[in-house]
Amino acid sequence: MSAKILDGKVLAQQLEQELAGRVEAIKAKKAGRSPILATILVGDDPASETYVRMKGNACSRVGMESLKVLLPQETTTEELLAEIDRLNADPYVNGILLQHPVPSQINERDCFDRISISKDVDGVTSHGFGRMAMGERAYGSATPAGIIRMLDHYNIPVKGRNAVVVGRSPILGKPMAMMLLNLHATVTICHSRTQDLPGIVRQADIVVGAVGIPEFIKGDWIRDGAVVIDAGYHPGGIGDIELSAVVDKCSAYTPVPGGVGPMTIATLIAQTVEAAESMG
């Protein structure tokens, strides 16, 4: 079987080209002022610094501005909430990204939920999740929303199919399941403690690996012809799924790297552009 490669890198590049034109239109309408994505980084975690830099680079590629807010490791919840309040009130900031994870002394959920829903372009607020789950307008969590863009672009049918999401995080597994359900898939949410997980995965037409454990989902769990979406990334360039054991038997798959990751950032930028357009 020749599996279709769901190339997120190529799709992200195409999306960025489209977004660059939309950014130019916004600038023409607003006397040259670019859309602004504010990124908040608390502490000095090297991986988080890399992710924030990548998001800033993506902003530059489409002509947007990236406002980088750097806060010290010892920042309190109250101090971070005050910074979010300042950005919420800034009429020139279109989107706010709080880089996950934050230091342990901070209540991350309280800080996520402080972000105005109109600027929640990373789809992390409880309010935004609830609206999305109910089929109302909201910016979806960037990684699952990027996956949905990929499935649509590559004409992967979702309606009526059995989808298994392995992972239940509030910014990946849970919103992924709701987005697939809204597209009329029959969805099972699993996790590392699910009983007979291999048996459940073997029934899936679409498998989404979002558990955060390297190659946790084994190749022999996945049936022939399934669509394999690997949302994990770990050192050594491996994901949550044993992709080497499925590429010859699945119908389509996302490579690691170059699959879901680029679409996460491109979707974040796309939703910031949409926020700028909606702000008039």
d(CA 112, CA 171): 11
Active site residue 196: no
Q: CA 83, 96, 168, 228: dihedral to nearest 10 degrees?
A: -150
55 is catalytic: yes
* The dihedral formed by the CA atoms of 212, 214, 216 and 221, expressed in degrees to the nearest 10: 120
Residue 101: cis peptide before it, omega within 30 degrees of 0 = yes
C-alpha distance from residue 60 to each of 37, 46, 276 (Å): 11, 21, 16
What is the rounded (10 degree) CA torsion for 5, 21, 145, 101?
110
Active-site residue (options: 113, 120, 122, 230): 122
Token pair listed for 212: 């955060």
Structure tokens at 140: 């979806």
Which residue out of 7, 55, 230, 271 is catalytically annotated? 55
30 is catalytic: no
- Angstrom distances, CA of residue 256 to CA of 6, 229, 234, 243: 10, 10, 9, 8
The span from the CA of 222 to the CA of 209, in Å, is 11
Q: Any idea which residues carry the catalytic annotation?
A: 55, 99, 122
